[in-house]
Amino acid sequence: MNNPQSTELLFELSRPGRRCHTVPATDDLGDVRELLPASHRSEQPPPLPELAEIDLIRHYNNLSTQNMSIDTNFYPLGSCTMKYNPKRHERLANLPGFTGLHPYQAEETVQGILQLLFEFQESLAEISGLPAVSLQPAAGAQGELTALLVAAAYFRDRGESQRTQVLVPDSAHGTNPASAALAGFTPITVNSHASGLVDLEDLRTKIGPQTAVLMITNPNTLGLFETSIASICAMIHDQGGLIYLDGANMNAILGITRPGDFGADMQHYNVHKTFTGPHGGGGPGAGPIAVRDFLEPYLPLPRVVCENGYYRLQYDGAKSIGRVRSFLANVGVLIRGYCYIRTLGPDGLKAVSEQAVLNANYLRTLVAEGYEIPHPGPCMHEFVASARSLLREKKIRAMDIAKRLLDFGYHSPTVYFPLVVPEALMMEPTETESRETLEAFAKTLLAILQEDAEMLRNAPHTLRISRADEVKAAKEPILRWRPEEAVRD
């Protein structure tokens, strides 16, 4: 249904005098002019819109129908692990026994949530093979930053302040070099080999006494497992450096192999990816980190600890880097992750990775019938196709294919990432999709190749809007509604 009703901006729907929420009266409690000096009092409240409850609900419900979502569409967005979000998680995470907890309540009144979080820490440690966990980081990128701050504190403690460089493969997520810079390091790019894996020769020339950390994504963003990971880690460790694993792709290796076992010293999890916290249209996520025991003293505080069956928050630690957020963690997201791990258990988690890899390879095989896939299989949980020959031969870009897929009710793959593949189309079907869905999607992808190039360049054609002009948006940024800019159709 394409219902444009009430989808004007809130500010255009506003009518003076309308209202939704009312507040209990306080007339018997004095006059605000006696309670606040004039210099700290505004005569008028902020100029917010005025709407009735029905206006509000119709507005947002109709807006919601202009989204694609996992619950309505196949969403093979590479690197994002758009798996099904179980409904039981929503119900359980919203129990008043969790949502009503103030972060500064006494520990004896929050033993249930502390137990849950402690057990979640233990599970993350077991899955990664890295024993010490901090739940604090609010998302993967903050997990990266936190781990790099931990590494910096560790090296400072050891008097190794010459370690100023962080090595980052060219196929890495952009957050890696950004986090490295924010943590005070100089990011150095390591090239990929034609195989898509880290170029060991290039890596060798870049390692030295100045190397602090190698940030590696494994499986990498091409969906390939770094087969030489053990020797890569050894090369870094021999020089006294640390290995950071970007855990964005953990969905491929649950119960199959563990970062701690293949040489990583630190990693983050994207709980909203691997353990299916919903993505929320861009968060909230959670990015807990797991590290080796010798890095534990540097983790942010507080952490959840258990002493003789009593759970408490540990606030003291002289070597801790401090805090990266207020309060404890994105607890609501962690509850969902905990529910997921408890539902699946060890066998279920391993089956997740097996089925994710099976689905990716199946889709890869089907897509390979019409698209170039530059790196040989098998892949792990995702793969990257390239539209470079299409661009050359038919002037069709990866973006055109992505936009045309929307017409058929499919969210597009990730495009133009990783940067090492020109005209990249990165596809991650996840384990929760059926064979028929993958087949229908592949069929659509192949059918698009037969379509008129001009029509593709103008896609999408069937959504409420046609292609958005991103150049215009950036050239004359309009980042908020203002009364004088109001235009009514």
In the complex, minimum distance from the CB of residue 17 to another protein, in angstroms, rounded to a whole number: 9
In this structure, what token pair is assigned to residue 447?
């059918």
In the complex, minimum distance from the CB of residue 130 to another protein, in angstroms, rounded to a whole number: 13
How many CA atoms, within 13 angstroms, populate the side-chain half-sphere of residue 476?
Answer: 2
In this structure, what token pair is assigned to residue 208?
């030295």
In the complex, minimum distance from the CB of residue 478 to another protein, in angstroms, rounded to a whole number: 4
Residue with smaller CB distance to another protein, 153 or 216: 153
Residue with smaller CB distance to another protein, 203 or 273: 273
In the complex, minimum distance from the CB of residue 444 to another protein, in angstroms, rounded to a whole number: 15
Cis check: omega of the bond before 86, within 30 degrees of 0: no
In the complex, minimum distance from the CB of residue 450 to another protein, in angstroms, rounded to a whole number: 22
- Crossing angle of the two packed helices 140-157 and 175-182, in degrees rounded to 10: 40
Residue with smaller CB distance to another protein, 150 or 207: 150
> How many C-beta neighbours within 10 Å does residue 391 have?
15
In the complex, minimum distance from the CB of residue 392 to another protein, in angstroms, rounded to a whole number: 24
In this structure, what token pair is assigned to residue 337?
């992750």
Residue with smaller CB distance to another protein, 9 or 392: 9
Residue with smaller CB distance to another protein, 376 or 393: 376
* Among the listed residues 80, 96, 116, 109, the one whose alpha carbon sits nearest the alpha carbon of residue 331: 116
User: Do the beta carbons of residue 410 and residue 463 sit within 8 Å?
Assistant: no
Place of tokens 């979080």: 117
Separation in Å, CA 261 to CA 185, 242, 465: 26, 14, 49
In the complex, minimum distance from the CB of residue 233 to another protein, in angstroms, rounded to a whole number: 10
The DSSP 8-state label assigned to residue 74 in this structure reads: B
User: Do the beta carbons of residue 384 and residue 374 sit within 8 Å?
Assistant: yes
Separation in Å, CA 169 to CA 133, 197, 216: 25, 9, 7
Separation of CA 405 from chain center: 23
Residue with smaller CB distance to another protein, 254 or 393: 254
Residue with smaller CB distance to another protein, 293 or 471: 471
